[in-house]
Chains A and B, each alone.
Chain A
Amino acid sequence: MCKEFTCIVCPVSCTLNVSKEGEEIIVKGNNCKRGKVFGENEYKSPKRILTTTVKVEESCHKALPVISSDEIPKEKMFECVEQLYKMTVKAPIKKGEIIIKNILNTGVDIVASRSLKQI
């Protein structure tokens, strides 16, 4: 089966045609190596970086921005977000501080993407 994707690695935004012949995944339409890797992953199991916020107390802001330390399987996005919305953290927070380790057993951590002082 041939699938069509837009490569999101860089702004050229190549249209990729990805198919499987036997065990081999064939990527067509890419202009670079990174596009080939993206096409293969997108065919096997699409992954994305997750950025969202969690509630924070004792800070001048009400939300702490967080980012995943690596890409997370696309179908687990909403489940991850749900888990993050249930929690509340307290300032002070340092950028890079782990908020949830190994979220949903993906092997990926959720970390703070900024520092927040305590008030």
Chain B
Amino acid sequence: MNFKRLITYSFLVLILGLIQVLLLKNIALFGIAFCFIYLLTILSFPTTMAHIPLLLISFGIGLLIDVFYDTLGMHALAATFLAFLRPFWLKIISPIGGYDDTTDPSISEMGIGWFLTYSLPLVFAFCLVFFLVDQWGTGGVLNVLNKSLFSTIFTVILAIIVQLLFFKRRRGI
């Protein structure tokens, strides 16, 4: 990863993190659909990124969001889980011929259908872990599933909108 890309990703983490904690923190559509737009940063890291830095960075981002949410550990736990699943899921859904070195898992490069297959299960896994921990002991499994499902849909829709509006067709490499 060269220096310019590093700057781009740091900028992405910062902006989406700020949007998450300042604007989206208290938004819940119909009381059940939350938005975790900061996951878009973890989702849009390069496909060839090594496991260990990915896990560490995701844990760090999760912890940073946690500090603002006062839910210390919950976002970190779920984001690390997402980062752990990501390489395996990428391998499963890889196109014929595999990814090349500079492929970004974004709509502009892979198309919207691929992005949906890529992001929906990963974000759902995140939401499931997050709401399981959040509702632990309150005994509402149905509530967890309900919140996870609608939060996933909301998050992915917003992630698509953000990509279409703000991601350049070819990010400067």
A binds B: no
Question: B residues engaging A (CB < 8 A)?
Answer: none
